[in-house]
Amino acid sequence: MTRSKPDSASPAPAPKASAASRLQMADIARLAGVSVSTVSRALAGSPLVNEATRLRVAELAKSLKYTINVGAQNLRLKQNRTIAVNVPYDPATRQHLSDPFFLSLIGSLADALTDRGYEMLLSRVDADRLDLAAQSFETGRAAGIVLVGQWHHHDQLNEMAVRGVPFVVWGGQLPGQLYATVGSDNLQGGRLATAHLIAQGARRVAFFGDPELPEVNLRHQGYLLALKDAGHKVDARLTRPAPFVREAIEQEVERLCAEGPRFDSVFAASDLMAMTVISTLRRLGREVPAEVRVAGYDDIELAQHFHPPLTTVRQPIAEAGQALIEQLLSQMGGARAQPILLPTTLEVRESTR
């Protein structure tokens, strides 16, 4: 019995996807002037590749429409390329993920992870049990953790660090800190906003925000420093420890207007808080900025479109996402956790003019 010969006219089998991928990776390496292994490390976000090379490789990969099949790569390399992003949930304040600041930071983190071929696992954790964020790492669902905010439990975060959990926190640098933080210069931001109000003629500046929260506390310290720099007497009654809850902020403004002490300007610990202050003042017949100047913190997108446009301290959110992921990947590569302080700037608009 004879076997039929293959039809010579039949088309040759298509090259395997892995071969095509290697070809594209070789093209990127040639154009970037680096080795194929360097390209592989750069696309994987390895801390062994410097930032300039990583960005050049990422741009070339994008121009050649080269993408990483994360799922297949994880299976092949037997490694986890998922990062857990945890946004703590406080039942008392009930800050939702729809908060514009949260959305901006989550978007920045998603961009940074996508650039490096990682996936994001977004979840919430009880603000009183921040240590529960470690579960995604300990169960193998995530290779590392980004935690948005320290809230009231700096001690729980130190315990996670001692256990060897790779994580980084968006927050302020605190004494005795064993874990990595990335955050804006809250102290300087508070000082900038308050000094600006004083330069505009303010004599009695009220502060709205809960100093029990680490980041807000640093903003409050900046507020106090600016008052002292200007030779203004500090009146503790002008510090209104309002949480990030609209109803609570409204009540605090009403109480301040009705009972005193006298005030001619407000520095609020967030933009949404500042907007609630302005709306409440307007309802009570106080004009902004004619009677009361108001400054916020964050520089969310809505700030420039509010009426009046809001003077605020800008946090560099795009840079924050990149810095958080760089710090986390560095830890995962064996480096020691290091805090990173990002600069803040003042965006002056009509609410203080």
pLDDT score, position 7 = 42
Backbone angles phi, psi at 168, to 5 degrees: -140, 145
The class (CATH top level) of 21-67 is mainly alpha
pLDDT score, position 23 = 57
pLDDT score, position 8 = 40
CATH code 3.40.50.2300 for 186-315+347-352: yes
**Block residue for tokens 């996402």:** 321
pLDDT score, position 78 = 55
Judging by DSSP bridges, how do beta strands 119-126 and 82-89 pair with one another? parallel
136 and 142 Cβ atoms separated by less than 8 Å: yes
Task: State which residues of the chain have pLDDT below 70.
Answer: 1-23, 67-78, 92-97
Asked if domains 82-183+317-342 and 186-315+347-352 share a fold, the reply is: yes
Helix extents (H) in the chain: 17-32, 36-43, 51-63, 70-77, 100-115, 135-138, 154-162, 186-199, 214-229, 246-259, 271-283, 317-332
The total of other beta-carbon atoms located within 10 Å of residue 24's CB is 17
How distant is the alpha carbon of residue 96 from its chain centre? Answer: 15
pLDDT score, position 87 = 87
pLDDT score, position 249 = 95
* Partners of residue 125 on adjacent β-strands: 88
Interior angle at CA 245, CA 240 and CA 246, nearest 5:
95
Listed by start position, the domains of the chain span: 21-67, 82-183+317-342, 186-315+347-352
**How far is it, in rounded angstroms, from Cα 284 to Cα 254?**
8
The CATH architecture assigned to 82-183+317-342 reads 3-Layer(aba) Sandwich (3.40)
pTM of structure: 0.74
DSSP secondary structure string for all residues of 24-81: HHHHHHHHHTS-HHHHHHHHTT-TTS-HHHHHHHHHHHHHTT----HHHHHHHHT---
Residue 315 corresponds to which amino acid?
Q
Cα distances (Å, whole numbers) of residue 313 to 118, 122, 245, 304: 31, 27, 20, 12
pLDDT score, position 9 = 41
Q: Is the peptide bond before 261 cis (omega within 30 degrees of 0)?
A: yes
Q: Is the peptide bond before 308 cis (omega within 30 degrees of 0)?
A: yes
Residue 212 corresponds to which amino acid?
E
pLDDT score, position 58 = 84
